[in-house]
Amino acid sequence: MKAIIVESDQSLAWQNVPDPQPKSNEAIIEVHYTALNRADLSQCAGKYPPPPGESELLGLELSGIIKQLPASTKDWKIGDKVCALLSGGGYAELATVPVDMPMPIPKNWTLQEAAGLPEVFFTAFLNLFLEAKLQPGEKVLIHGGASGVGTAAIQLAREAGCEIFTTVGSEDKAAFCKKLGAHHVINYKTQDFAEVVKGSDQHVDVILDMVGANYFERNINLLGTNGRLVFVATLGGTTTELDIRKLMAKRIMLKGSTLRARPLVEKVEIKEAFMSRFWEALEQQRIKTIIDSVFDIRDTEKAHTKMQANENIGKILLRVKAESIEQRAKG
């Protein structure tokens, strides 16, 4: 098969590599589409290695067709169209996936649309609802609202009946997030998000933060009593100072969270909980993958450059199989 290889100079090449060898609990998927995530850029830069025993190839999600299954599998059959979260290996023609991880393509979705579903929606769901325990009617601040995770989080919070604040870096992104369901959109390049929220005489209950150190003090000040702050990335730095008295006074919970390195059993639980709560909304297309652009797999470097420049609204996808079937899934 062919896959994207990271060269010693961090350039990317579409090269022949050995076919993946499935473990006893794994299926082989013919990859039609995969999607970019910030973790892929970090892995390219040598800053985010895959978990031990997982594929060294880039790519944390895919959509495609099942080509091989363990003999004991009853839930799937050869030829089923699926999407799945991966620990690595999606930037390739073939990938292995534990048989408990795939999801069917939601009714009325295409393979292309489903490719960008698992990573961002699982991340948003996990951290808003399982970690931060976001409740209907609460106020949530979502940083990076136009990112893949941000666009997923806005939609999930909207479905849950929450009041949504979000930060973005351009007026185009602000307009898009407003249409997506955010009630208060703040351009951090022209406004101080903390001043905007405070100016509305409000505190927030939950903050989903991808920035880290640069926003830490302002985040703490914006949280109300029993507020919850969840870190999912550190794009703005990793080190800061903390006045513990502020946490004590408002009984604030701090949580750091990643998805990739979690045990398989936890990932399956997250998948099942997400599907139980939001699958109907997906199939009715009240919630959907926001696709910014689609690149051919041979143009992966161009796709990475676009994400690195923070130009995208939603997901950047890679088309792996040129003749991918684009019919919408039926129930």
- In this predicted structure, the answer to whether residue 325 has a pLDDT above a threshold of 60 is no
Helices marked H in the chain = 38-44, 111-115, 118-125, 148-159, 171-180, 193-199, 216-222, 244-250, 264-283, 300-308
Confidence of residue 36 (pLDDT cuts 50, 70, 90): very high
Over residues 56-71, mean pLDDT: 97
What per-residue confidence (pLDDT) applies to 331?
61
Of 288, 302, 296, give the one whose Cα is nearest residue 323: 296
Query: Could you tell me what percent of the chain has a pLDDT over 90?
Result: 88
Nearest to 64 by CA among 78, 47, 48, 83: 83
| pLDDT over 60 at 115, yes or no | yes
Give the full edge-to-edge strand order of the sheet including 139-142: 184-187, 163-168, 139-142, 204-209, 223-231, 253-256
Is domain 2-117+262-319 classified as CATH 3.90.180.10? yes
CA 172 from centroid of its chain's CA atoms: 21
Fold of domain 120-256:
Rossmann fold (3.40.50)
Query: Using one digit for the tens of pLDDT, what is the confidence trace for 121-155?
Result: 999 999 999 999 999 999 999 999 999 999 999 99
pTM score, whole prediction: 0.95
pLDDT band, residue 326 (cuts 50/70/90) = low
Handedness of CA 265, 314, 141, 155 (dihedral sign): negative
Three-class DSSP category at 159: helix
Summarised one tens digit per residue, pLDDT across range 266-318 is 999 999 999 999 999 999 999 999 999 999 999 999 999 999 999 999 999 99
Residue 305 confidence (pLDDT): 97
Please, what is the average pLDDT of the chain?
Answer: 94
Query: Measured in Å, how far apart are the chain's first and last C-alpha atoms?
Result: 32
Can 2-117+262-319 and 120-256 be said to share one CATH topology?
no
Contacts of 75 (CB under 8 A, 6+ apart): 99
Q: Where are the domains of the chain?
A: 2-117+262-319, 120-256
**Beta carbons within 8 Å of 276's beta carbon, 6+ residues apart:** none
